[in-house]
Amino acid sequence: LLVTGYWLLGAGYWLLVTGCRLLGTGNWLLVTGCRLLGTGNWLLVSGGCELVAVKGNKEQATSDKITSNKRQDNKQQETRNKRQATRNKQQATR
């Protein structure tokens, strides 16, 4: 019984040491990964990638608005043309 107790004590100690080592390795990997993530994000932002994407979206929105305004102007002009054609027909029949 005493031998078994010592054996279990040794096994528990070994597991504790191994767990601490794995915890240390896992913590190192986590810290390193966070640093790499932060560095990569900083490089992207300082390189202007985010700004380019935002600028591109704003330009596209502006372009879409201009296109929408042109369509509306065309519809209004078409309506004016139809009214003028109606007036011309009415004057021609008089």
Residues 60 and 38 in one domain: no
The answer to whether residues 43 and 56 belong to one domain is no
Per residue, the 3-state secondary structure of 40-88, as one string, reads: HHHHHHHCCHHHHHHHHHHHHHHHHHHHHHHHHHHHHHHHHHHHHHHHH
Same domain, 56 and 33: no
Q: Are residues 1 and 38 in the same domain?
A: yes
83 and 53 in a common domain:
yes
- Does residue 55 share a domain with residue 27? no
One domain for residues 20 and 54: no
The reply to whether 56 and 37 lie within a common domain is no
- The DSSP call for residue 35 is H
pTM of the complete model: 0.39
- Phi, psi values for residue 48, rounded to 5°: 90, 10
Counting the structural domains of the chain, the total is 2
Structural domain containing residue 60: 49-94
| 47 phi, psi to nearest 5 deg | -80, -10
CA pair distance 94, 88, nearest whole angstrom: 10
pLDDT tens column, 33-78: 888 888 888 888 777 665 555 556 667 777 778 888 888 888 888 8
